[in-house]
Amino acid sequence: MTKSEDRWKAPGDRGNRRLPNVVRRSPFPPSESRALGSPLQPAVVYATPDVDALEDQYEGRAVGYTYAREGHPNADLLAAKIDALEAAPAPGLITSSGMSAITAAVLGVLKAGDHVIAGDQLYGKSLRLLNQDLPRLGLSTTLVGVADAANVAEALRPETRMVLVEVVSNPTLRIADIDGIAAVCREHGVLLLIDNTFTTPAVVSGFELGADLVVNSVTKLLAGHSDVTLGYVAARDPALREPLEDAVATWGLTPSPWDCWMAERGLHTFELRFERAQDNAQRIADHLAGLVGVDEVFYPGRDDHPDRALARALLGKNPGNMVSFTLPGGRAQANALMRALGGIAFAPTLGDVSTTISHPASSSHRGLTEAQREALGITEAFFRLSVGIEDPALLLDELGAGVAAAHRSLAEGG
């Protein structure tokens, strides 16, 4: 029989092939080289050789993974990088969003009956968590101005367990008296939770400021490209890591491996992006302050910032990339501004490589009453700029056109 005939199958034999086993996973081929980029591991579950090996993992005698909701390699790789940036004394955890990081810190550490003191100028969803959700779980909250540590001291109760502050508040850019607040917390045995999202570890380490717990919205400046949703939480005391882990796994706050992989890639350029965006922000803040039709500009790097002394002491030469400002008028002027901004996106986010503008009254703080927003200084003509890395001349032109359009709208009775 020829070689060609050997490959031929009789009609009765066709359709009866026994396929080789390709169902089971195979290890990667051995190699002396390694991938320069971090591998992406989207696996949901991990196999162990026997029951004893699995027990060793759960008891901490061996390192390994079991189920992705309890942890996975891409999350740990990203967490280790942010641990280094934050000078974290114990390994941190990646969560599914910035809010899930705060939720893990609160639910993992506190219990019904505990009392929380928090800054009265926080991200809108943080305020909602404190004012609406925690009371349903039996926790009480007091909001105070955190530019003066005396306000925190006065709000203390016997059941106070935690103080939550943003180093720089969202979106009003007020500066917390972190040194004073940390001293109050140490004196009274209260945990200090710092949200370092606006400042980022490029400016300050939350732990070096005295925090017991630190959170970041990795979604923002750390990842930097508006294509992932992640958070980070870490504790000073290693004993607190287990309750944080339990909260993340039990409440389903686990991050996606894909998002972790993307965020780790974003971190490679974090320092460069931050420096360029910060330089642009200083130029924009100074430019806005000189424009006809702008009422107020809030930027920690300007001498007219209401907390300038605190900003100098805490932020030094790194006032950040966020600028807020107000215009005369209301919603009509807000619409006129947005429509004339050219390529600056009206988008409720921050930390992207490109500049974005948000309108907190209709987005991040829309859940507050009008009176609550006005008490914070968030009017219909209050705007928050997240400054990116574009050519600053382009940004100045676009913002100038937007402010001019809003000014014309006001003059025309719009």
Residues identified as active-site: 69, 123, 195, 220
Element (H, E) at 394: helix 392-411
Please list the helix, strand and coil fractions of the chain in percent, rounded to the nearest 5, in that order. 40, 15, 45
Which whole-number Å values give the CA distances from 126 to 136, 280, 371, in the listed order?
15, 28, 18
* φ/ψ (deg, to 5) at 143: -100, 135
| Residue 190 tokens, joined | 């209260």
| Three-state secondary-structure class, residue 268 | coil
Q: Which two tokens stand for residue 155?
A: 């709000």
| Structure-token match 């641990």, residue found | 83
Indicate the pairing of strand 93-95 with strand 296-298. Answer: unpaired
Which residues have CB under 8 Å from 232's CB, separation 6+? Answer: 79, 82, 86, 92, 93, 94, 95, 101, 214, 215, 216, 218, 222
Q: Would you say 348 and 385 are in contact if contact means Cβ atoms under 8 Å apart? A: no
* Rg of the Cα atoms in the chain: 26
